[in-house]
């Protein structure tokens, strides 16, 4: 038998998780391996604690000493665990185990003991820091603990909208002191609700390490079918809280701030839907071009306004479909692994958003053609990214003598500086400011 080392033992342990790697829940259990090898709090977190709790210089010095002690205890504990694993490897080298489960049992027991010890270290650090706080600082602790948990665990979200932190959205909006005060109580309420929902989700996601290890050792790779359902429900709860409080907070702000807040939250939570489309970018680029005549610019604004109105309608449809489809997809992935292990073939899940995204792409092409018709060939080709919109069989070289500004590709021209009036589909005008949030008056998420 090849000589066993700590590294080979750990690889064997990771391999033992492979029967469980058929679902996102099981993949999350692999966090135990990463958790065992690194401390929960690092020296860079000192600034977060100091600023979040308004520590004075003396308290910062004390806390720095606490962090040093915590890191020393972690390193000692992990080194002791490694030594214990090395002894296991040596014993196995001298007396090879009869099967893989005999190899895993002492390894998993060792890791399980260390995880318990490490969590006690983590909790001890937080308790020690609380002990040096004065009354005003202790009052800050609940909100600070919520913030700390959000920052360290927000990335566990899988659904669109699940990883949004509305505190960061509010910060990035650069609100006035009055506006910040207006939404302060609502944000606090949101923070408490989100913290409860996230901890509930993570408890389901991570499960019980002892039970997981026992299942591996017993060869039981079947999971309670309700676990996947419970996890998806917990994810939906986190996402819906973000969506619901996005609307509540936006409703408390003045219109300009409200639109800014909502749009930022949507772009952060539903990036695939609300990031700028290629058509948006090039039309906006044309609208900001100062070289066009006022008449041409007015018509570009009209094209943009009409496009954004139709885009908002399509995006709302995508939002509604995404919020219903993604949980179904997560649950399907949870169950697909067990179907494959049973020798079956999971059914393919149809993505209802695919056709709508194609519809949105076609809408963009339609409005780009309107823009091409309004501008000369030279003007259009000067726009960044314009060549992607020109058919391959159409020449893209710019004529030596360009048509007069405003001359179009479809026979449109501007004579005597007067541009033909274009009212795309009878919608939009220069002064219109369409709601591009995707909600319009059709509804609000989480309502």
pLDDT tens string 214-253: 666 665 555 556 778 899 999 999 999 999 999 999 999 9
User: Is the residue at 316 inside a domain?
Assistant: yes
Determine the structural domain holding residue 144 and report its residue range. Answer: 138-269
Sorting pLDDT into bands at 50, 70 and 90, what band is 283? very high
Of 381-385, 390-394, 405-409, where does the model show the most confidence? Answer: 381-385
Q: Quick check: 428 pLDDT over 80?
A: no
Sorting pLDDT into bands at 50, 70 and 90, what band is 275? very high
Q: What's the whole-number mean pLDDT along residues 92-120?
A: 82
Tell me: do 230 and 286 sit in the same domain.
Answer: no
Q: Closest Cα partner for 436 from 251, 244, 276?
A: 276
Q: Quick check: 400 pLDDT over 50?
A: no
Whole-angstrom Cα distance, residue 203 to residue 431? 51
Domain boundary residue among 89, 114, 133?
Answer: 133
User: Is the residue at 441 inside a domain?
Assistant: no
Whole-angstrom Cα distance, residue 314 to residue 259? 18
Residues 6+ apart with CB under 8 A from 112: 209, 210, 213
Q: Which two tokens stand for residue 34?
A: 């990463």
User: Is the residue at 442 inside a domain?
Assistant: no
Q: Quick check: 271 pLDDT over 80?
A: yes
Domain boundary residue among 115, 133, 151?
Answer: 133
Tell me: do 67 and 6 sit in the same domain.
Answer: yes
Tell me: do 142 and 127 sit in the same domain.
Answer: no
Percent of residues in the chain assigned helix, strand, coil, to nearest 5 = 70, 0, 30
pLDDT value of residue 395: 67
Q: Quick check: 415 pLDDT over 60?
A: no
pLDDT value of residue 104: 77
Sorting pLDDT into bands at 50, 70 and 90, what band is 209? low
For 29-75, what is each residue's pLDDT tens digit?
Answer: 566 677 788 899 999 999 999 999 999 999 999 999 999 999 999 99
pLDDT value of residue 430: 42
User: Is the residue at 305 inside a domain?
Assistant: yes
Bridge-partner residues for 415, per DSSP?
A: 418
Higher pLDDT residue, 415 or 91? 91
Q: At what angle do helices 353-374 and 278-287 cross, to 10 degrees?
A: 20
Tell me: do 261 and 296 sit in the same domain.
Answer: no
CA distances from 276 to 264, 279, 280 (A): 12, 8, 6
Other beta carbons less than 10 A from residue 218's beta carbon: 9
Tell me: do 400 and 329 sit in the same domain.
Answer: yes
Cα 288 from chain centre = 31
Sorting pLDDT into bands at 50, 70 and 90, what band is 10? low
Whole-angstrom Cα distance, residue 27 to residue 434? 43
Domain boundary residue among 111, 133, 155?
Answer: 133
Number of structural domains in the chain: 3
Question: Which CATH number do you get for residue 182?
Answer: 1.20.120
Higher pLDDT residue, 99 or 78? 78
User: Is the residue at 295 inside a domain?
Assistant: yes
Tell me: do 50 and 154 sit in the same domain.
Answer: no
User: Is the residue at 431 inside a domain?
Assistant: no
User: Is the residue at 231 inside a domain?
Assistant: yes
- Half-sphere exposure (Cβ direction) of 109: Cα atoms closer than 13 Å: 9
Tell me: do 118 and 2 sit in the same domain.
Answer: yes
Count how many residues are written for the chain.
447
- Mean of the per-residue pLDDT values of the chain: 83
């Amino acid at each position: 038998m090849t000589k066993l080392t700590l590294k080979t033992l750990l690889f064997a342990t990771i391999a033992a998780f492979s029967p469980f790697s058929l679902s996102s829940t099981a993949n999350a259990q692999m966090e135990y391996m990463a958790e065992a090898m690194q401390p929960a709090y690092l020296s860079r977190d000192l600034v977060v604690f100091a600023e979040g709790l308004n520590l004075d210089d003396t308290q910062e010095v004390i806390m720095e000493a606490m962090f040093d002690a915590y890191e020393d205890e972690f390193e000692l504990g992990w080194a002791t665990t490694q030594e214990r694993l090395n002894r296991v490897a040596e014993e196995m080298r001298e007396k090879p185990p009869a099967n893989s489960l005999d190899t895993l049992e002492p390894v998993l027991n060792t890791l399980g003991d260390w995880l318990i010890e490490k969590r006690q270290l983590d909790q001890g650090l937080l308790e020690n820091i609380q002990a040096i706080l004065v009354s005003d600082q202790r009052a800050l602790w609940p909100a600070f603990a919520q913030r700390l948990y959000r920052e360290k665990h927000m990335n566990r979200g899988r659904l669109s909208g699940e990883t949004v932190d509305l505190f960061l959205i509010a910060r990035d909006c650069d609100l006035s002191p009055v506006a910040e005060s207006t939404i302060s109580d609502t944000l606090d309420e949101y923070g408490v609700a989100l913290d409860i929902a996230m901890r509930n989700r993570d408890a389901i996601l991570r499960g019980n390490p002892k039970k997981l290890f026992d299942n591996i050792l017993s060869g039981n790779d079947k999971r309670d079918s309700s676990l996947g359902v419970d996890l998806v429900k917990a994810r939906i709860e986190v996402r819906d809280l973000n969506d619901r409080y996005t609307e509540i907070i936006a409703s408390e702000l003045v219109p300009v701030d409200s639109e800014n807040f909502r749009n930022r939250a949507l772009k952060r939570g539903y990036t695939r839907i609300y990031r700028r489309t290629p058509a948006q970018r090039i039309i906006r680029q044309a609208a900001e071009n100062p070289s066009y005549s006022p008449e041409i610019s007015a018509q570009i604004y009209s094209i943009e306004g009409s496009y954004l109105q139709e885009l908002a309608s399509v995006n709302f449809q995508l939002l509604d479909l995404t919020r219903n489809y993604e949980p179904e997809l997560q649950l399907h992935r949870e169950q697909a692994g067990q179907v494959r292990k049973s020798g079956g073939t999971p059914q393919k899940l149809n993505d209802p958003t695919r056709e709508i995204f194609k519809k949105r792409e076609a809408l963009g092409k339609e409005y780009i053609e309107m823009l091409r018709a309004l501008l000369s060939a030279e003007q259009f080709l000067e726009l960044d990214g314009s060549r992607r919109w020109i058919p391959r069989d159409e020449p893209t070289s710019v004529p030596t003598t360009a048509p007069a500004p405003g001359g179009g590709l479809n026979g449109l021209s501007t004579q005597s500086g007067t541009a033909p009036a274009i009212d795309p589909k009878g919608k939009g005008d220069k002064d219109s400011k369409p709601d591009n949030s995707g909600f319009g008056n059709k509804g609000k998420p989480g309502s």
